[in-house]
A = this chain, B = another copy of it.
Amino acid sequence: MPSSCDLALYAAHILCRAEDGAIHTLADGAVAVTDGIISALGAKSALTRQWQARRELDLGNVLLLPGLINAHAHASMTIFRGLADDLPLMEWLNGHIFPLEQRLTGRLVHLGALLGCAEMIRTGTSAFQDMYLMEDEVCRAADVAGLRGLAGEGLFAFPTQGVPRPEAAPDLVREQAARWRRHPRVRIAVMPHAVYTTTPEILRACVALAAELDLPLHMHLAESAAESASCLKMHGKRPIPYCRDLGLLTPCTSLAHVVDASEEELDILAQSGVCVVHNPSSNMKLASGVTRVPAMLERGIRLALGTDGAAANNRLNMFTEMGRAALLHKAVGGDPSLCPAEHIFAAATTGGASALGDPRLGALAAGRPADIIALDLDSPNLQPMYAPVSHAVYAATGMEVRMTMVDGEILYLDGRFTRFSYPDLLAEMQEVQKEIKQIHGLLNMSVGQCLSAGQ
């Protein structure tokens, strides 16, 4: 007697994970999905005998992969994409990003996050970790779009659009956590912004809050040598020991960037069990320095990948991050065998699952959530295929994604977003662009840099 499942997916190739953790490729494979979970995975011929599917979807010549996990994003910043590039860091931050963020509204945060979700879904990301202002609006966007999200209000020592009274931050996080507690895909984390925008008291309060509510903790750390110098000057310690001594570095913490880390500081990270989220595009574009990824991998430090915000990237595309991560460290380390494709693919999948505190994610296997993407192997840049993981890391742009599924639900298939009207979002973006341009006072910039105001 065959068992029944909600959906059977058929695909020419499936990258799956055996019980011993080894990754292997199934040819002419099938996945049975029930209640958002992979019920079975195997050769199509065998699976169709054992399972009766209420719906079948034959994707043909595709490679099924686990959805990628973007472990550090500011999805709403898509609305600033390409607005200010190639600038010295302080001019970029103080002359562009911070003034823009002071004028943000909930509507802009929401629409930016929805656009960010659209881009992530379109390019094969199934889950993301996000820190921003008015983060509830990001949670709502993730809810609408169908992505998994671990989201946190960015907490600062000064008033923001999201937390007008910094002393009220713990209550705001308690409310957010309560509001999203029962959501099947969206969860809340405690997210102090960084050492240079908070105080020791705030960071201690964040540790206490994370313990009280049993939430993960996420923050930017050691993003540049300048941050280290200012932390040393203000607090008498560099960022990593400073945070260790405040109790921030635990297995429930993930740290974005960690560009400036000494040998001993890497040892501290390894001993603490934190997860590091590497953001190669952002680090390169802002010239923040180069995260010591090979040294981290050698020490067994948990590694995930992230896109950071679109203002510093300018994409939310995890295929882009995989490619750049794999290449950057070869170039900087002078060794082509550093950061092999398998390690980078692991960072973008199981590493991301670990960063988000949800180890069920990041692999295709029976019993795991059906967060699945399909890459079109008919695309000329994916021909021929000898090694699926190499293709995912080095050859795919992310736009070969034909399908993105989260929790067993198809969010995108062959050009169509299923849970929201993408044409409506495009129409809203026309208005958003005008608003942002007005705020930014773009009108007097050169015509070669940006579109003239009338367009």
Measured CB to CB, the residues of A under 8 A from B are 13, 22-25, 27, 78-79, 81-83, 85-89, 92, 115, 118-119, 122-123, 281, 283-287, 289-290, 310, 313-317, 320, 323-324, 326-328, 330-342, 378-381, 383-391, 394-395, 397-400, 422, 426, 429-430, 432-433, 436-437, 442, 447-452, 454-455
Report the copy number of this chain in the oligomer: 2
Contacts of A430 in B (CB 8 A): 384
A380–B310 CA distance with the chains assembled, in angstroms:
12
A430 to B, closest residue via Cβ: B384
A117 to B, closest residue via Cβ: B380
A68 to chain B, nearest CB (A): 14
Q: Is the CB of A284 within 8 A of B327?
A: yes
A140–B404 CA distance with the chains assembled, in angstroms:
39
A378–B332 CA distance with the chains assembled, in angstroms:
36
Contacts of A24 in B (CB 8 A): 447-448
A61 to B, closest residue via Cβ: B426
Contacts of A89 in B (CB 8 A): 336
Q: Is the CB of B442 within 8 A of A78?
A: no
Q: Known contacts being A86-B337, A395-B81, is A450 close to B327, with CB within 8 Å?
A: no
Q: Is the CB of A314 within 8 A of B394?
A: yes
A339–B86 CA distance with the chains assembled, in angstroms:
8
A85–B387 CA distance with the chains assembled, in angstroms:
10
A85 to B, closest residue via Cβ: B390
Q: Known contacts being A86-B340, A88-B336, A387-B82, is A25 close to B380, with CB within 8 Å?
A: no
Q: Is the CB of A81 within 8 A of B336?
A: no
Q: Is the CB of B25 within 8 A of A447?
A: yes
A211 to chain B, nearest CB (A): 37
State which of B287, B289, B327, B341 has its C-beta within 8 Å of the C-beta of A281.
B327
Q: Is the CB of B383 within 8 A of A333?
A: no
A305–B372 CA distance with the chains assembled, in angstroms:
35
Contacts of A384 in B (CB 8 A): 78-79, 81, 429-430, 432-433, 436
A287 to chain B, nearest CB (A): 4
Q: Is the CB of A320 within 8 A of B394?
A: no
A415 to chain B, nearest CB (A): 10
Contacts of A283 in B (CB 8 A): 331
Contacts of A426 in B (CB 8 A): 378, 383
A285 to B, closest residue via Cβ: B327
Q: Is the CB of B398 within 8 A of A397?
A: yes
Contacts of A315 in B (CB 8 A): 381, 394-395, 397
A291 to chain B, nearest CB (A): 10
State which of B22, B118, B422 has its C-beta within 8 Å of the C-beta of A448.
B22
